[in-house]
Amino acid sequence: MAVVELIESRQIKLTSDGQQLTAVFKCTRDEWDAADPDLPYVGRVWATSRGDLWCTEITVKGLPGAKTDGSGPLVVTAVFSTEGSETRRRRANQAASWQESGSVHLEQEVIDSYIDTVSDTRKKWATVWTDAGEDADEQPDLVRYRPKAEWNITAYGSRMYMDRILSYVGKVNTDLFCQLYSAKRAAASSQYDADTAAVSDVGVWMLMGVTWRPAKAGVYEYNMHFVANNDGWNTYEGVSLNLYETAAFMDMFDGMDLNEPEEDAGLYG
């Protein structure tokens, strides 16, 4: 028999938190064991037009009075929810499972010179202070506040990438990291959108550190911490230093950036 949805059993629940849809399917055990593509799996979207409605839970049971040899049909009950974004987490090797967080704040820095925006010239603070007739011994610190951005990305892989981690920490990006990362995320999820198309950030991000742990059997979780320097890590006061090694950051995600559904992993969790 082919997989059939029991349309009469479909239920839709609306709450202040979102929408939940319950659908019931009938199939054979062979179809279930073969992960028939018409069957739901955890992480699957309800329809291409409803990329926000994801399968979060599946219950499988035999029909009452089914054959005792186990050959009878199965009833598959699937719950799709708009609150199901976490269902794709920990899915190994998939861009759809990536998670991110970040922060931007001002950081105080003591400086000894500055650019005068009126004359467009660099001036020494000590000279400006004494030229104003002030006592050099009473010169206060000149402080400027600079924006500091931090970005945390979590990805999941089926391998332990020890060599890769060690080779990227402390390096600066040579690619348009924000643009390429956002494009990969958007291709994997219709719900992802970012205003990074015009961001030019080559040389801006440094990988400060990575933590990793086994997330579940055969899946490793990688938490990567990036810090931005808007002036460029290899530039200081307009002078090129080449102090830090560089790398194409998106290469770090090789093998963890697939954009494919994992029917088997989804069906069986």
What would the two tokens of residue 225 be?
């911490």
Per-residue pLDDT, averaged over 238-251, amounts to 93
Going by their DSSP bridges, the two strands 99-111 and 113-116 should be labelled as unpaired
State whether 148 and 222 are in the same domain.
yes
- The answer to the question of residue 262 being in a domain is no
- The pLDDT confidence band at residue 70, using thresholds 50, 70 and 90, is low
Is residue 110 one of the residues assigned to a domain?
A: yes
Structure tokens at 42: 């955890």
Asked if residue 10 is part of any domain, the answer here is yes
Residue 234 tokens, joined:
């290899």
Question: What gap in Å lies between CA 176 and CA 194, rounded to an integer?
Answer: 14
Q: Which of 86, 108, 138 is the last residue of a domain?
A: 86
pLDDT digits (tens, 9 = 90+) for 21-66: 999 999 988 899 998 999 998 878 888 888 788 898 999 998 766 5
**Claim to verify: residue 82 and residue 116 sit in the same structural domain:** no
pTM for the whole structure = 0.73
142-157/239-240 β-pairing: unpaired
Say whether both 108 and 26 belong to one domain.
no
CB 166 within 8 A of CB 130: no
The answer as to whether 14 is a domain residue is yes
**pLDDT of 228-242, one tens digit each?**
998 899 998 778 988
How confident is the model over 1-32, as pLDDT tens digits? 789 999 999 999 998 888 999 999 999 888 99
246: its two tokens: 């560089």
Name the strand (E) or helix (H) holding 162.
helix 162-168
Are 80 and 119 in a shared domain?
no
181 phi/psi in degrees, rounded to 5 = -60, -50
Same domain, 147 and 55: no
Domain residue limits at 42:
4-86
| Same-domain pairing of 81 and 140 | no
The identity of residue 161, as a single letter, is Y
Q: Which of 141, 45, 153, 53 is CA-nearest to residue 98?
A: 153
Do 32 and 110 lie in a common domain?
A: no
Contacts of 179 (CB under 8 A, 6+ apart): 196, 197, 199, 201
Q: Is residue 260 part of a domain?
A: no
Residue 104 and residue 180 in one domain = yes
Q: 């086994």: which residue's tokens?
A: 214
- Whether residues 190 and 109 share a domain: the answer is yes
User: How far is residue 253's CA from residue 258's CA, in Å, rounded to a whole number?
Assistant: 9
Residue 264 lies in a domain: no
Percent of the chain's residues with pLDDT above 70: 91
Query: Considering 86, 121, 136, which residue would you say is the last residue of a domain?
Result: 86
| Dist. CA 202–CA 177, nearest whole Å | 7
Radius of gyration of the chain (CA): 27
Q: What is the pLDDT of residue 233?
A: 95
pLDDT at 169 over 60: yes
Based on the fold, state whether residues 245 and 142 are members of the same structural domain.
yes
Q: Is the dihedral of CA 103, 104, 107, 113 positive or negative?
A: positive
Residue 266 lies in a domain: no
Rounded to an integer, the average pLDDT of 239-253 is 94
Please indicate, yes or no, whether residues 105 and 231 belong to a single structural domain of this protein. yes
The per-residue pLDDT for 262 is 41
Does residue 265 surpass a pLDDT of 50? no
Which of 61, 86, 111 represents a domain boundary (last residue)?
86
For residue 137, being part of any structural domain is answered with yes
Q: Are 34 and 132 members of one domain?
A: no
HEC assignment per residue over 232-252: CCCEECCEECCCCCEECHHHH
**Strand pairing report for 18-27 and 45-47:** unpaired
Domains: count for the chain: 2
